[in-house]
Structure 1
């Protein structure tokens, strides 16, 4: 049985509010960045803002799900997977690197990760959700390469964040994030296998996170 479309989508309200705040924070950051002196930093900020704009647009247009995983453990893993990257600057030994070749490499990786996130989010469209929900099977674009391209792109983005910061703390968070995202993906897939016709065949032919790297 589908969910009542007349009910207020509380998840949408909370998500749009939070993403709008993050969009505003990045807009302020961009305003304080000289694009000629820090071109890669400006580019990553613009890509981050574009990602939040797409998220807000997707959530505003999101249709009701046919099923939601209401287990507290699934929600905990989902929110840990979503929030973990924000902890990376907090556990860095000396904050962000101010310059040097490693900072440049980090900026390039961040740009690649953010671009991949935008591609995945564009393909996902209005099927976006933080917690496991069933809507429809998406198998085009990056979803033809892996089942969870948005998570894969986020992990690439986190590698960039780890390179941009100092100390072992960020890498510990990155390792924990891999665990969270794999568990999160497993919970989502269990729901989709039970709810969506065609997902089993899609899962069988498409790798999980790394293209051409198994089907588990």
Structure 2
């Protein structure tokens, strides 16, 4: 394989990743405003702007600190665990349902009422949560999107950064990030699909942890030192 081909493949992979993220964000914005029946929804604009900004910042940071990871995120490899394929199959529609439900609830039909002050709470949850996920991605070269043992990449246990404190810091960030989403959008009903997603994330954490214990050399020793999966002192 020529050097030109080797150099082109990572670029095309990154371009696909950017296109996927941009496309999903655009789809999410479309669902929010279509379900609301108006573009006059300040909380939705805050939501979209916040996530666009944090995704951009994390993309730039990870590109500089852990560039090889971007080439592998977003791809569902053939050896991805079956339970993880099920997770994505179920969770993606739930995110879309949340967008539609939030638009119906907060704007079109006003099924419930949420104080505007909770936008700040949602942002206060989401920004540090994004930062935690970014920290995990920037430091762990094997932070792929799906659960698998990355044998072709020399998969090893990573114990630094946020992994010093819990074994799955990325999932911790995701849970707090997801919790902040309905608060920013102003919809109590949006918590219904979000709570289901959070339960799925916890289940996924347990299944991934079991997989790593069984298949990744050195993980059991790491788990003895870093005792908790998500919440120190609890689990």
Structure 1 portions without partners, runs of 5+: 1-8, 30-37
Give CA-to-partner distance per residue, 1:141-194, whole Å, 9 cap, x none.
111111111111011111110211233332112211122112212222232222
Residue in 2 that maps onto 1:122: 138
Instruction: State the alpha-carbon separation in 1 of the partners of residues 97 and 59 from structure 2.
Output: 18
2:71 to 60, 65, 75: 60
Change in CA separation of 1:173 and 1:18 when aligned onto 2, cut-off 3 Å: farther
2:234 to 199, 205, 213: 213
Using the size of structure 1 for normalisation, the TM-score is: 0.69
Residue in 2 that maps onto 1:88: 98
2:57 to 41, 46, 50: 50
- Alignment partner of 2:212: what SS? helix
Instruction: State the alpha-carbon separation in 1 of the partners of residues 88 and 23 from structure 2.
Output: 24
Instruction: State the alpha-carbon separation in 1 of the partners of residues 197 and 144 from structure 2.
Output: 18
Instruction: State the alpha-carbon separation in 2 of the partners of residues 194 and 68 from structure 1.
Output: 15
Aligned residues: 188
Is residue 16–residue 59 contact of structure 1 (8 Å, CA) maintained in 2? no
Using the size of structure 2 for normalisation, the TM-score is: 0.64
Instruction: State the alpha-carbon separation in 2 of the partners of residues 74 and 41 from structure 1.
Output: 27
Residue in 2 that maps onto 1:165: 185
Instruction: State the alpha-carbon separation in 2 of the partners of residues 169 and 39 from structure 1.
Output: 19
Residue in 1 that maps onto 2:148: 133
CA shift, 1:200, in A, is 0.8
Greater mean alpha carbon deviation, residues 173-182 or residues 41-50: 41-50
Change in CA separation of 1:83 and 1:39 when aligned onto 2, cut-off 3 Å: closer
Greater mean alpha carbon deviation, residues 183-192 or residues 17-26: 17-26
Instruction: State the alpha-carbon separation in 1 of the partners of residues 16 and 205 from structure 2.
Output: 25
Residue in 1 that maps onto 2:122: 106
Is residue 132–residue 187 contact of structure 1 (8 Å, CA) maintained in 2? no
Instruction: State the alpha-carbon separation in 1 of the partners of residues 204 and 94 from structure 2.
Output: 13
Is residue 47–residue 184 contact of structure 2 (8 Å, CA) maintained in 1? no
Residue in 1 that maps onto 2:152: none
Is the radius of gyration larger for structure 1 or structure 2?
Answer: 2
Change in CA separation of 1:77 and 1:170 when aligned onto 2, cut-off 3 Å: same
Instruction: State the alpha-carbon separation in 1 of the partners of residues 20 and 211 from structure 2.
Output: 31
